[in-house]
Amino acid sequence: MTKEKKDSYGADQIQVLEGLEPVRRRPGMYIGTTGPDGLHHLIWEIFDNSRDEAMGGFANDIEVALLPNNRVRVVDNGRGIPVDIHKQTKVSALETIMTVLHAGGKFGGEGYKVSGGLHGVGASVVNALSIFCEVLVHKDGGIYAQEYSQGKKKANVKKIGSTKANGTIVSFEPDKEIFKEGVEFDFNRVVNHLRQQAYLVPALRITIIDARAWNGKIDIESDFYLRDLHPGAPSYTFFFEGGLSSLVKFSNNLFKPLHRSIFYVDKPAEGVESVEVALQYVDDISSRILGFANNIFNPEGGTHITGFKTTLTRTLNNYSKKNNLTKDGEDNFTGDDVLEGLTAVVSVKLREIQFEGQTKAKLGSVEAQGAVTTVFGDAFSAFLEENPEEARAIIGKAILAMKARKAAKAAKDSVLRKGVLEGMTLPGKLADCQTRDASESELFIVEGDSAGGTAKTGRDRKTQAVLPLRGKILNIERARLDRMLSSEQIKNLVLALGTAIGDTFDISKLRYHKIIIATDADVDGAHIRTLLLTLFYRYFRPLLDGGFIYIAQSPLFKVKRGKEIMYFLTEEELHKKLGKNLGGKGVEEILNATDEESRGEMLEAADADADADVSAGEEGEEVSSKKSNKLHIQRYKGLGEMNAEELWETTMDPARRVMKQVNVEDGQESDKVFDMLMGDDVPARKHFIQSNAKLATIDI
Q: Dihedral, CA atoms, 151, 156, 161, 164, nearest 10 degrees? A: 60
- Full DSSP string of 8-60: --SGGG-----TTHHHHH-THHHHS-SSHHHHHHHHHHHHHHHHHHHHTTS--
The per-residue pLDDT for 634 is 80
Average pLDDT over residues 226-237: 83
Q: Dihedral, CA atoms, 384, 388, 392, 393, nearest 10 degrees? A: -80
The tens digit of pLDDT for each residue in 343-400 reads 999 999 988 888 886 667 889 889 999 999 999 999 999 999 999 999 999 999 999 8
The per-residue pLDDT for 435 is 92
The HSE-up count of residue 462 (CA atoms within 13 Å, CB side) is 3
The per-residue pLDDT for 636 is 82
For residue 301, pLDDT beyond 80: yes
Amino acid at 304: H
The per-residue pLDDT for 446 is 92
Question: Hey, CA dihedral for 101, 106, 109, 110, is it positive or negative?
Answer: positive
Average pLDDT over residues 147-165: 92
Residue 50, number of CB atoms within 10 A of its CB: 25
Average pLDDT over residues 629-654: 83
The per-residue pLDDT for 603 is 40
Tell me if residue 520 is catalytic. Answer: yes
For residue 237, pLDDT beyond 90: yes
Average pLDDT over residues 300-329: 90
The tens digit of pLDDT for each residue in 82-126 reads 998 888 878 898 998 898 875 544 434 444 445 444 333 578 899
For residue 424, pLDDT beyond 50: no
Q: Which DSSP state fits 111?
A: S
The per-residue pLDDT for 672 is 65
For residue 57, pLDDT beyond 80: yes
Q: How far apart are CA 411 and CA 420, in angstroms?
A: 15
Confidence (pTM): 0.64
The per-residue pLDDT for 17 is 45
21-238 CATH: 3.30.565.10
For residue 288, pLDDT beyond 70: yes
Tell me if residue 328 is catalytic. Answer: no
The tens digit of pLDDT for each residue in 302-315 reads 999 999 999 999 99
Higher-confidence residue of 424 and 476: namely 476
Query: Are the C-beta atoms of residues 404 and 480 closer than 8 Å to each other?
Result: yes
Return the H-helix or E-strand segment holding 136.
Answer: strand 130-139
The tens digit of pLDDT for each residue in 549-603 reads 999 988 888 888 777 788 888 777 777 776 655 544 444 454 454 444 453 444 4
Of the candidates 53, 520, 646, 675, the residue annotated as catalytic is 520
For residue 661, pLDDT beyond 90: yes
The per-residue pLDDT for 686 is 67
Give the orientation angle of helix 388-418 with respect to helix 303-322, to 10 degrees.
110
The tens digit of pLDDT for each residue in 199-214 reads 988 889 999 999 998 8
The per-residue pLDDT for 619 is 42
Selection from 156, 165, 171 nearest residue 85 by Cα: 156
Of the candidates 447, 477, 482, 675, the residue annotated as catalytic is 447
For residue 220, pLDDT beyond 50: yes
Q: How far apart are CA 676 and CA 688, in angstroms?
A: 8
Q: How far apart are CA 169 and CA 171, in angstroms?
A: 7
- 244-408: CATH topology: Ribosomal Protein S5; domain 2 (3.30.230)
Tell me if residue 336 is catalytic. Answer: no
Share of residues in the chain with pLDDT > 90 (%): 42
Average pLDDT over residues 671-681: 65
Domain segments of the chain as ranges: 21-238, 244-408, 557-635, 668-694
Tell me if residue 447 is catalytic. Answer: yes
Share of residues in the chain with pLDDT > 70 (%): 79
Average pLDDT, the chain: 81
The per-residue pLDDT for 421 is 34
The tens digit of pLDDT for each residue in 161-182 reads 999 999 999 999 999 999 999 9
For residue 624, pLDDT beyond 90: no
Q: How far apart are CA 643 and CA 120, in angstroms?
A: 61
Per-range mean pLDDT, top range of 258-262, 418-422, 512-516, 626-630: 512-516
Of the candidates 37, 223, 524, 609, the residue annotated as catalytic is 524
The per-residue pLDDT for 190 is 95
For residue 625, pLDDT beyond 60: no
The per-residue pLDDT for 216 is 79
Report residue 67: phi and psi, to 5°.
-110, 170
For residue 416, pLDDT beyond 70: no
